[in-house]
Structure 1
Amino acid sequence: MTICSRRNFVSGMGALILMTGTTIKSVAQNEKSLKTVRYAMVHDETACIGCTACMDACRKVNSVPEGVSRLEIIRSQPYSEFPHVKYEFFRHSCQHCSNAPCVSVCPTGASYIDKQTGIVDVNRDLCVGCQYCIVVCPYRVRFIHPVHKSADKCNFCRDTNLAKGKQPACVESCPTNALTFGDINDPNSSISLKLKTTQNYRTKVELGTQPNLYHIPSKEGEIRR
């Protein structure tokens, strides 16, 4: 009886280990299949020349009307002395925050974060134009589309270039490769590698918005928010 019990116990344990191993493997596979991307962008201020080609491409690809803009390149005041006058250029656009205030205040669910990409977007059909999202956005990047009468802003060309498997229009048009776009959840992506090897900063991180737009500062050692 003792021998049989031991044999049964060993046999049972073997089956349990086999089943557990299969379960663990199955769970791991499921977790892998459920992993999502988190799109982000880096603007390299040391490479940007302020040509505004990105702005023109954004307007054309996304049919942005005159008078409003999804993207702006802001030029600083000149510094240094002639003939060595220099400027700094700053990208002003949606930060695609992981903790987006605009999403939290939207009464209809029109403002949302796409679970598969992390992109903050607006459902035009649900937007009632209340402008709550515009008021609470600390980056001041949203506007009411003059034609659709709904909130609008940069969505990384989600329904245009990105939908066709291309890079955002601003990235494709940049002549100096000052913009890098990709999946920040992938440690081997070009954007992840760039962030690991360069000094960078994000704006207004103290607000807890968790922005996904990064900047490489124009001056080495410079720390700005």
Structure 2
Amino acid sequence: MSNKKYAIILDDTTCIDCKACTLACKTENNVEAGFFSYRNWVGEIENDQAVFPNIRRKFRPSQCQQCDNPPCVHVCPTRASYQTEDGVVLVDYHKCILCKYCMTACPYDARYESHDKHAIDKCTFCYHRLAEGREPACVETCPPKVRKFVNLLDKQDENTKLLQTEAIEVQKPEKGTKPKLYYIK
């Protein structure tokens, strides 16, 4: 059993929609150019706390949620989608037959068809960087430090402690996927 279980904590109140995370991801992972080729993205969300004249746009970064109960893995007929011991959901491009079952199963729309790879692609938490002891490119690059990369099993880590001290929410908890992207409320 692994002594690591990775997650990302996001404080979207500080996101400025600069898209540095998206560009860093595309560069680091050789993601093809194009609007529909992405592993992470930033969307504008409704700010229900805003009252005129104190209105501020609110942005929410998102990506593959690296679910503990990943429906994309469960539906893959070739086992191209799989989960590592440390909880990261990956795709074996050589096994992928482009059936798109995983795309349909993902409630977060976090997968896309890569024409360069001839397979489905998604965020990998920059798994190749984790093996080198480095954080994902999106975390390292973010100017306002919106993203915090954590090992959920390291209870001494200051970032992991945020899960105990801050009000946290996840996207679509009703889906039962147990996502590992945590948003500070």
TM (norm. structure 2) is 0.91
Of all paired residues, the percent bearing the same amino acid is 38
In the alignment, what sits opposite 1:99?
69
Aligned-residue offset at 1:81: 4.1
SS of 1:46's partner is helix
1:201-220 to structure 2, matched below 5 A, reads: 201-217=169-185
Residues 45 and 89 of structure 1 are in contact (CA less than 8 Å); yes or no, is this contact kept in structure 2?
Answer: yes
Aligned-residue offset at 1:35: 4.3
SS of 1:181's partner is strand
CA distance in 2, matches of 1:198, 1:77: 21
1:1-225 to structure 2, matched below 5 A, reads: 34-67=1-34, 68-76=37-45, 80-81=51-52, 84-115=54-85, 117-159=86-128, 161-217=129-185
Per-residue CA distance 1:45-79 (angstroms, 9 max, x = gap): 12222211111111111111112110001023675
CA distance in 1, matches of 2:159, 2:127: 18
Higher helix share: 1
The RMSD of aligned alpha carbons is: 1.6
CA distance in 2, matches of 1:212, 1:166: 18
Aligned-residue offset at 1:127: 0.7
Greater C-alpha radius of gyration: 1
- Structure 1: unaligned runs, 5 residues or longer: 1-33, 218-225
Residues 8 and 149 of structure 2 are in contact (CA less than 8 Å); yes or no, is this contact kept in structure 1?
Answer: yes
CA distance in 2, matches of 1:146, 1:138: 22
Matched letter for residue 84 of structure 2: D
SS of 1:74's partner is strand
Aligned-residue offset at 1:97: 0.4
SS of 2:131's partner is helix
> Relative contact order (C-alpha < 8 Å, sep 6+): which is higher?
2
Count of paired positions: 181
TM (norm. structure 1) is 0.76
Aligned-residue offset at 1:191: 2.9
CA distance in 2, matches of 1:181, 1:211: 14
Residues 97 and 212 of structure 1 are in contact (CA less than 8 Å); yes or no, is this contact kept in structure 2?
Answer: yes
